Amino acid sequence: MWDDLIDDYMRVLTDERGSSPHTIRNYGDDLRQFAAWMKENGISDPAGVTHLHVRGYLADLQTKEYAKRSVSRKLSALRSFFRHLVREGRLEASPLQFIRTPKQDKRLPKFLYVDEMEELLRLPDASNPLGLRDCAILETLYASGMRVSELVGLDVSRVDLSLGVALVFGKGSKERYVPIGEHAVHALQRYLQDSRPRLDAGKAGDALFLNARGTRLTDRGVRRVVDRYVDQLSETRNISPHVLRHSFATHMLEAGADLRTVQELLGHVNLSTTQIYTHMTRDHLQTIYNRAHPRA
């Protein structure tokens, strides 16, 4: 019962809502983990789940010392799943309707300073096809602020180097144009001319970024690319590809870009999501002030 309903919900996320592969993968794992816990406690049908079961599950997660962020994501997956069952008429009400999401610790996103970013961008070896590709990947992520899922979904036909823009598919299958800047345009030109033809094994179609096997690069592949160069930096560690997006937003605001422009470029639906970067820039300015002013 659980497996069939979860599989049906995964199809809804994929076909109707256009959720990202990352979201679908995480939600699937979270729902199957909850289902396994419920089966261990004798509940073989979602209709038998009560708010007390959910509280027991949350208590178990706390005992296992799951991070608040992970617990919140698991709750989000459960809320969405049970709302779907209510809409489908399989349940009268969700057992999570009176369950509160635990308060999150305020944690600002990590970002690189401009000099660190420039050092990272200089690291790929542009004398070989993969190095040229990696240079284009890093430059494009930083120049555009696009998500990794948007980057790996890019097709050659969706990038106009003469105008310096790319058409990306964002969350919820929403399209938006993003500028990619002079340095990224140059890196992409070199990649398309000298690297992609050598990587292409005739099975990638119109995919922009290819792996060593000549097929479309994946999210995980981009993570490995970023990890490889981050490990070469002397002091910076634990940086994900998303940090390039955070760095893009932070540097734009520090240079005087207005919040709504950055919101549009990032593809955020709500301005409140973008506002976290104003806190980051304030902290950055405070740090500089404390270090530079003789009477700070």
- Answer yes or no: 277 catalytic: yes
The reported pLDDT for the residue numbered 256 is 79
Q: What six digits make up the tokens of 66? A: 């799951």
Q: What six digits make up the tokens of 106? A: 């305020």
Question: Which residue in the list 68, 183, 223, 242 is annotated as catalytic?
Answer: 242
Task: Reduce the DSSP state of residue 216 to 3 states and report it.
Answer: strand
The reported pLDDT for the residue numbered 19 is 74
Residue 246's closest CA among 160, 115, 146, 123? 146
Q: Cβ neighbours of residue 79 under 8 Å, at least 6 residues apart?
A: 94, 96
Query: From CA 170, how far away is CA 14, in angstroms rounded?
Result: 14
- Answer yes or no: 245 catalytic: yes
Q: Which letter, b or e, does each residue of 2-11 get, where b requires 16 or more Cβ atoms within 10 Å of its Cβ?
A: beebbeebbe
Q: What backbone phi and psi angles, to 5 degrees, belong to 130?
A: -70, -35
Query: From CA 75, how far away is CA 27, in angstroms rounded?
Result: 10
Question: Which residue in the list 17, 171, 183, 284 is annotated as catalytic?
Answer: 171
Query: From CA 73, how far away is CA 194, in angstroms rounded?
Result: 42
Q: Cβ neighbours of residue 262 under 8 Å, at least 6 residues apart?
A: 145, 249, 252, 253, 274, 277
Question: Which residue in the list 84, 133, 147, 216 is annotated as catalytic?
Answer: 147
- Answer yes or no: 171 catalytic: yes
Residue 165: CA count within 13 A, CB half-sphere = 7
The reported pLDDT for the residue numbered 156 is 96
Query: From CA 39, how far away is CA 237, in angstroms rounded?
Result: 40
- On whether the CB atoms of residues 144 and 107 are closer than 8 A, the answer is no
Question: Which residue in the list 73, 133, 216, 268 is annotated as catalytic?
Answer: 268
Q: What is the pLDDT along the chain (296 residues), one digit of tens a residue?
A: 888 899 999 988 888 777 777 788 889 999 999 999 999 999 989 999 999 999 999 999 988 888 888 888 899 999 999 999 999 999 999 998 888 877 665 566 677 888 888 999 999 999 999 999 999 999 999 999 888 889 999 999 999 999 999 999 877 678 889 899 899 999 999 999 999 999 998 888 999 999 999 999 998 899 889 888 887 875 555 667 778 888 888 888 877 787 788 888 888 767 766 767 766 556 666 666 666 656 55
- Answer yes or no: 147 catalytic: yes
Question: Which residue in the list 84, 133, 196, 245 is annotated as catalytic?
Answer: 245
The reported pLDDT for the residue numbered 22 is 76
Domain ranges in the chain with CATH number 1.10.150.130 = 2-87
- On whether the CB atoms of residues 168 and 153 are closer than 8 A, the answer is yes
Q: What backbone phi and psi angles, to 5 degrees, belong to 101?
A: -75, 130
Question: Which residue in the list 57, 191, 229, 277 is annotated as catalytic?
Answer: 277
DSSP class of 173: G
Task: Reduce the DSSP state of residue 169 to 3 states and report it.
Answer: strand
- On whether the CB atoms of residues 77 and 27 are closer than 8 A, the answer is yes
The reported pLDDT for the residue numbered 29 is 93
Q: What six digits make up the tokens of 107? A: 């944690």
Domain ranges in the chain with CATH number 1.10.443.10 = 114-291
Decide yes or no: CATH 3.30.497.10 for domain 114-291: no
Residue type, 60: D
Strand arrangement, sheet containing 165-169: 159-160, 165-169, 175-179
H or E element at residue 281: helix 276-292
Topology (CATH level 3) of domain 2-87: DNA polymerase; domain 1 (1.10.150)
Q: What six digits make up the tokens of 208? A: 């922009």
Residue 152's closest CA among 202, 214, 244, 222? 222
The reported pLDDT for the residue numbered 67 is 81
